[in-house]
Amino acid sequence: MLHIRSYFAFLLAFLPCHFLLAQTLPIAIDGLFSDWTTEAVSFEDGVDATNGNDLLRMSVANDENYLFIRFEVSDEVVLTDNNDLTLFIDGDHNSLTGKSTNGIGAELELRFGDRDVIFYHGNSQTFLDLSDVKFHSLPTFSGKVFELAIGRNVKPDGIFPLFTGNQIRLFFQNGTAGDKMPNAGLVFNFTFDNDPAPPYQPIDLQKLSPNHLRLMTWNVLQDGLLDIVRKSHFQRVLATIQPDIVTFNECWDMTAAQAKSFMNTALPLANGQSWNTVKLESGNITATRYPILQNWNIYPGHRLMASLIDLPDAIFDKDILVVNGHLRCCSANSERQLEADAFASFILDAKSPGGVITLPENTPFVLSGDMNLVGWEQQYLTLSSGDIVNTSVFGNGGPLDWNNSPLVDVVALQTDQRMAYTWNEPGSQYPPSRLDFHFCSNSVLEVKKAFTLQTEIMSQARLDAFGLYANDTGGASDHLPKVTDFVVREFTGAMVVQWPAIQLAVSPNPATTFTTVKWTNPKPAVIIFSLKKMDGILVRQWTARHSEGPATEFVDLVGLSQGAYLLEMQVAGEGARVVLVKLE
Write down the pTM of the prediction. 0.85
| 367 beta partners | 323, 439
* CA 188 vs CA 13, 15, 19, 39, 180: distances in Å: 5, 8, 8, 17, 12
For 350-406, what is each residue's pLDDT tens digit? 999 999 999 999 999 999 999 999 999 999 999 999 999 999 999 999 999 998 888
Cα of 357 vs its chain's centroid, Å: 31
Q: Distance between CA atoms of 296 and 103, rounded to whole angstroms?
A: 61
Are residues 73 and 59 in contact, defined by beta-carbon separation less than 8 angstroms? no
First to last CA, the chain: 13
In 39-198, beta strands by DSSP E:
41-44, 55-62, 66-77, 85-90, 99-101, 104-106, 108-111, 116-121, 124-128, 136-138, 143-151, 167-174, 180-181, 188-191
Q: Distance between CA atoms of 75 and 142, rounded to whole angstroms?
A: 10
Q: How many CB atoms lie within 10 A of CB 199?
A: 7
Does the domain at 4-191 match CATH 2.60.40? Answer given as yes
Q: Distance between CA atoms of 350 and 38, rounded to whole angstroms?
A: 44
**Vertex 75 angle, CA 69 and 78, to 5°:** 65
CATH architecture of 498-583: Sandwich (2.60)
**Vertex 530 angle, CA 524 and 536, to 5°:** 145
Q: Distance between CA atoms of 262 and 246, rounded to whole angstroms?
A: 13
CA-based torsion, 489, 287, 371, 280: positive or negative: negative
CA R_g for the chain:
25
Q: Distance between CA atoms of 433 and 335, rounded to whole angstroms?
A: 20
- 4's CB contacts (< 8 A; 6+ apart) are none
The residue among 138, 151, 135 whose CA lies nearest residue 70 is 138
Q: Distance between CA atoms of 112 and 109, rounded to whole angstroms?
A: 9
Instruction: Say if 4-191 and 213-495 have the same CATH topology.
Output: no
The residue among 363, 370, 40, 327 whose CA lies nearest residue 217 is 370
Are residues 432 and 421 in contact, defined by beta-carbon separation less than 8 angstroms? yes
**DSSP codes, 127-172:** EE-GGGGT-EEE-SS-EEEEEEEEETT--TTSSS-S--SSEEEEEE
Q: Distance between CA atoms of 356 and 361, rounded to whole angstroms?
A: 15
HEC secondary structure over 474-492? HHHCCECCEEEEEEECCCC
Q: Distance between CA atoms of 536 and 532, rounded to whole angstroms?
A: 5
* Domains of the chain, residue spans: 4-191, 213-495, 498-583
Sheet with 445-452: list strands edge to edge.
276-278, 283-288, 245-251, 213-219, 482-488, 445-452
Q: Going residue by residue through the chain (584 aa), what tens digit of pLDDT does each one get?
A: 233 344 334 444 444 444 556 678 999 999 988 888 888 898 888 777 667 889 999 999 999 999 999 999 989 999 999 999 999 999 999 999 999 999 999 999 999 999 999 999 999 999 999 999 999 999 999 999 999 999 999 999 999 999 999 999 999 999 988 899 998 889 999 999 999 999 999 999 999 999 999 999 999 999 999 999 999 999 999 999 999 999 999 999 999 999 999 999 999 999 989 999 999 988 999 999 999 999 999 999 999 999 999 999 999 989 999 999 999 999 999 999 999 999 999 999 999 999 999 999 999 999 999 999 999 999 999 999 999 999 999 999 999 999 888 899 999 999 999 999 999 998 899 999 999 999 999 999 999 999 999 999 999 999 999 999 999 999 999 999 999 999 998 775 544 445 666 778 888 888 888 888 888 887 777 888 888 876 667 778 777 878 777 888 888 887 787 777 888 888 765 667 777 788 87
Q: What is the dihedral of CA 91, 97, 98, 102, to 10 degrees?
A: 90
E strand or H helix that includes residue 382: helix 377-385
Q: Distance between CA atoms of 412 and 71, rounded to whole angstroms?
A: 23
For 175-209, what is each residue's pLDDT tens digit? 988 899 998 889 999 999 999 999 999 999 999 99
Are residues 32 and 20 in contact, defined by beta-carbon separation less than 8 angstroms? no
> How many residues in the chain?
584
Q: Which CATH superfamily is domain 213-495 in?
A: Endonuclease/exonuclease/phosphatase (3.60.10.10)
